[in-house]
Amino acid sequence: MRIARFTTGGEPTYGVITGDLDEYGQLSDDAVVAELQGDPLYAGITPTGREAKLSDVRLIAPVLPRSKVVAVGRNYAAHAAEMGSEVPEEPLLFMKPNTSVIGPGDAIAYPKQTEDLHYEGELAVVIGRICRDVPAAQATDVIFGYTIANDVTARDLQRKDVQFTRAKGFDTFCPLGPWIETDLDPQDFSDGRRLQTYLNGDLKQDGSTADLIFDIPTLVEHISSVMTLLPGDVILTGTPEGVGPMEVGDEVEVSIDGLGALTNKVEKRK
C-alpha cells in the first residue's frame, strides 16, 4: 500500500493512493487517494469511503515523527570518499529534530548562518512498533514502510561544528515523502533500487540502494541496541555520492524506484 497524508484545506488525514507509477516515478493523472479514518501508526485504520483525485489534494509529510529522526552518516563508500572520509567500522549515527520535517512541495528555508547548503537524497525507513534490541533477522517486524528523504545539510557548519546538530537540524532540513510504501522489504533495497537526485532537472546523484554499506536490518539492530524506537520514528539510511550545493530558487527532486519522487524548492529563510 501507498499510505499518504493529505489535506484539502482542512485537517490532515491519511489516505491510500492507487494508480500506476510512470517511468519517472510519478503517479498517473488518474491516481486516486482513498481517505482513511484513524492513524495507521498508532491504531487501526478504516476506509471512510470518500475518495479524491490526487490532483485535487495536497500531500503533506507522510509521517510526523513524534520522537526522532535517526540518520546514518557515510553509509555509501563512494560518498565517504568524496567527503575525504573513511568508511566507518559500525554505523555512524546522528539525529535530526522532528521539527526539521517538511512534506513534498514544502519550501526548504536557506538559513542566513550558512553559505553552503547541500542536498542529500536518501532512502528513509519508517518504524511501526515500539521496540528495542531488535535482531536484524526480525527487523521487518518493526518496519512500517519506506519513503524518500532529503537530508539537507549546511556543509560549512558541519565542518565547523565537528558534530552535526546545527548543520542538519534547522527547520525544513528533513523533507519526507511523497508517501510511505508498505509492500517492500529490506531485500528489495539490498537487491538494488535506483536513487537519483535532480537539481533543476540536472542529474546530480545516481546511486543504488544495493551499495548501502550497512543494510536496513543491520541499521535497525544497531540503532535499537542504543535507543528505543517508537512508531513514526524515521531512519535515514545515508546518501550516495554526488552531494552538492543548492541555491535560493532551486528545485531539488529525489526519486527512488517504486517510491515516487520528493520535490522541494529552496527559499530564503524568512
Cα 241 from Cα 87, distance rounded (Å): 13
Q: At closest approach, how far in Å is the CB of 115 from Zn ion?
A: 19
Q: At closest approach, how far in Å is the CB of 152 from Zn ion?
A: 9
Residue 34 burial class via C-beta count within 10 angstroms: exposed 0-12, middle 13-18, buried 19 and up: middle
Q: Could you say which DSSP state residue 106 is in?
A: P
Question: Taking CB under 5 A as the rule, does residue 120 contact Zn ion?
Answer: yes
Cα 140 from Cα 134, distance rounded (Å): 10
Q: At closest approach, how far in Å is the CB of 254 from Zn ion?
A: 11
The residue (of 196 and 239) whose beta carbon lies closer to Zn ion is 239
Q: Which stretch binds Zn ion (CB under 5 A): 114-122, 188-196, 209-217, 242-250?
A: 114-122
Q: Which stretch binds Zn ion (CB under 5 A): 56-64, 94-102, 104-112, 236-244?
A: 236-244
Strands in 202-208's sheet, in edge-to-edge order, are: 107-110, 260-268, 251-256, 194-199, 202-208
Q: Which stretch binds Zn ion (CB under 5 A): 174-182, 212-220, 222-230, 231-239?
A: 231-239
Question: Taking CB under 5 A as the rule, does residue 239 contact Zn ion?
Answer: yes
Question: Taking CB under 5 A as the rule, does residue 106 contact Zn ion?
Answer: no
3-state DSSP assignment of residue 142: helix
Chain centroid offset of residue 70 CA: 11
- Which candidate, 236, 264, 217, places its Cα nearest to that of 65? 236
Site for Zn ion in 124-153 (CB under 5 A): 151
Site string for Zn ion, 148-167 (x = CB under 5 A): ---x----------------
Chain residues that interact with Zn ion, rule: CB under 5 A: 120, 151, 239
